[in-house]
Structure formats: structure tokens, C-alpha cells
Amino acid sequence: MFEKIKLWRKKKSSSNLRERIEMIKKREIPAHVAVIMDGNGRWARKRNLPRIAGHKEGMMVVRKISRIAGELGIKTLTLYAFSTENWKRPKTEVDFLMKLPQDYLNDYLPELIEENVQVRMMGSKQNLPKHTLNALEKAIQETKNNNGLILNFALNYGSRTEIIEAVKHIIRDSRDGKIGEDGLNEEIFSQYLMSNNLPDPDLLIRTSGEIRLSNFMLWQLAYTEFWFTDVLWPDFNEQFFLDAIEEFQKRQRRFGGV
């Protein structure tokens, strides 16, 4: 009997989700959503588990959220998976994190291909272990012609470094006569960043109650709507994601237009 109730609940909540998605799709969908997936360590500590258990649970949420983003018709989902500052963590934790891309892709690359997702990476390839890079490059290669959701992983990414690298590149191009002082503007500068070819995010989500940017897409977030929640990333789900999208749509209705 109890099993029957559980099944009914599950069916009901998934039909609620369908209805919510249909309502949301009638209004403006953000083209690019960026997410700072914070709170995995805290989630684990609360349960007396090692931090890596939080990261593993967080990985399952990545699947949930990328699938619903695709369903909503969001064009790009950028996920902050590993920052350049994260190297300072204990070696065992870093080693574990560096295995997650291949774990994820082993399990879900066929599904990503099936769902027409294009995998991309934004960040420095330097310092990444060979096994991490190989898995990523295989996924990027095998999904490069897909034209559904762009699933963009920020990995070994830091925005100040990104900006410095862009400036260095511009100095080199200037020396080579490819660009001059008059040729530089916001649009051209954007093309030197790691997010080139992507529009700026329309919406930034950060979980776990921290209200800061932590060196994430400083240039690109200039006009972005921010949405923060106390929910820890491993507890995040489709319903919370829809809360964020609905709030975005309310703000658009209030302030969009003239």
C-alpha cells in the first residue's frame, strides 16, 4: 500500500513538473544560464560524510539540471565545475574531482549524444591531468555537430586570469598588426575571452547561500540577473531551477521593454 502512495506521489510531482514547464515555455526563456554549484562539502559534512560524497551527489544534479535546461529550450548552460583556486584543496579531493568528468562522460556521453547536447569547456587546459583532458576532448569532439543545448563546463577557470590572457593576446595581435587601438571595443574584446561565440549569461544562479562571484565570468556578467538560494547544490533539483527561471521571467516582465 505504501509503495502505491509513493508511486502516486512520484507521478503527481512529475506531472506538476510538466505543467510548470509548459507554463514557463509560454514566456521568455533565458538563452544562457550560468550556475555556481556551491555547497557540496557542506552537504557532506551535515551528513558526516567525506567531502567527496558531496561532489558525487552533486554530479547527479548536473544531469538533472542539464536535462531540464534542454527541455526548456535554454541554448547554453554554463556550469562552474572547478576554479583555478580549487587546486589549493587537499590532494585527495582534487584527484577525486579530476576523475568526475570521465566518470560523468562514461555514464552519460551516449545520452548526451542522443539528446543532441554539445559539450564544451571553458578554462585552462594546462595542469589538467591527461585522463581528464582526454575524456573531455573526446566528448567535445563527438558532440561538436550537435545543435541542441550547449553544455559548457567551466573547468580550471578563473575570470581574472581569463581577462589577463585576453589582454596579452590583444597585445600580441597588436604587435602583429592584426588589431589597433581604434579597432578595440567591447564586442572585439569579448571575442578574446574563453566564452567567445557564446552570448553573455542572462541569468546567474548560485546555490548554498554565498552571495559573491568568486572570480566567475566577471566581464560576461555585467548585465546578468542574479538569483541566489540557500539550497545546497546536492539538494538542488528541477523545481528549484524552475523557481529561478520564473523569477527571471517576472523581472523581465517588470523591467523589460520601455
127 is catalytic: no
Q: Which of 204, 210, 211 is nearest to 244 (CA)?
A: 204
Q: Which of 130, 129, 126 is nearest to 161 (CA)?
A: 126
DSSP bridge pairs for 177? none
Q: Is 40 in the site for ligand V07 (CB under 6 A)?
A: yes
Determine the Cα–Cα distance for residues 51 and 95; give it in Å rounded to an integer.
Answer: 12
Active-site residue, 107 included: no
The answer to whether residue 77 forms part of the interface with ligand V07 (CB under 6 A) is no
For position 101 contacting ligand V07 by CB under 6 A, the verdict is: yes
Q: How far is the CB of 23 from ligand V07 (least distance, A)?
A: 28
Which three-class secondary structure state does DSSP give residue 76? strand
Among 36, 52, 53, 62, binds ligand V07 (CB under 6 A): 62
Residue 119 in contact with ligand V07, rule: CB under 6 A: yes
Q: Binding to ligand V07 by residue 117, rule CB under 6 A?
A: no
Rounded CA separation 215/84 (Å): 9
Single out the residue of 93, 102, 95, 10 nearest to residue 54, CA to CA. 93
Least Cβ distance, residue 28 to ligand V07 (angstroms): 28
205 part of the interface to ligand V07, by CB under 6 A:
no
Among 43, 216, 233, 248, binds ligand V07 (CB under 6 A): 233
* C-alpha 124, offset from chain centre: 16
Q: Which residues bind ligand V07 (CB under 6 A)?
A: 37, 40, 55, 58-59, 62, 81-82, 97, 100-101, 104-105, 119, 136, 139, 153, 155, 233
